[in-house]
Amino acid sequence: KLFTDAGRVCRPLFVIDNDPTHERRGQLVLTKEHVQKLKDDEWVPEEQRFGWEGLLGCGAVEYVDAEEEETIMIVMTPEDLDVARQVQQGFELEDDTDTNKRVKTPLNPNMNQYTHCEIHPSMILGICASIIPFPDHNQSPRNTYQSAMGKQAMG
């Protein structure tokens, strides 16, 4: 199905290569070569630039709508993807004693593979929620309340 309703919410995500025949299976499709092409865009004529369209064209980034989000597995950061891959391979992870580190759910070695990765963890929030100062230091209902108040203020 393809929905094209006006105002349909889509957001970009990095794609994870899950093809069993590829040597980069379980890693981001985005490589250092893609990043280098983006850096080189500064010096390349405009018609030869790689840019955002290049990332979409090579399959490193994909737009996902709200309905498709229900059926995909999204990892928060590339570092979390590496940790999940190590757990699936049977490596024991050392306990981190850093109390300021972000709280993560325990990983299950039998879980399904991740299919996409967030570009940045803050992109999971909408516009109204992303402008709340220090949302990670508030109670969740307080963030919901502030987000609703921000929507009202915008009209």
Distance CA 115, CA 69 (A): 11
3-state DSSP call for residue 148?
A: helix
- Is 75 exposed, middle or buried (CB count within 10 Å of its CB: 0-12, 13-18, 19+)? buried
Would the pLDDT of 7 be above 90? no
pLDDT at res. 124? 77
Distance CA 65, CA 71 (A): 11
Domain residue ranges in the chain? 10-124, 126-155
Q: Which helix (H) or strand (E) holds 149?
A: helix 140-154
Q: Which alpha helices (DSSP H) does 41-138 contain, by range?
A: 51-57, 66-69, 78-88, 127-130
Q: Which pTM was predicted?
A: 0.75
pLDDT at res. 2? 62
Q: Which residue spans within 18-139 are E strands per DSSP?
A: 27-28, 61-65, 74-75, 116-117
The residue type at 31 = T
Distance CA 38, CA 58 (A): 13
Distance CA 55, CA 83 (A): 25
Q: pLDDT tens digit string along 89-131?
A: 777 777 666 666 666 666 666 666 889 999 988 777 777 888 8
Q: pLDDT tens digit string along 18-66?
A: 888 988 888 999 999 999 999 999 998 988 899 999 999 999 999 998 8
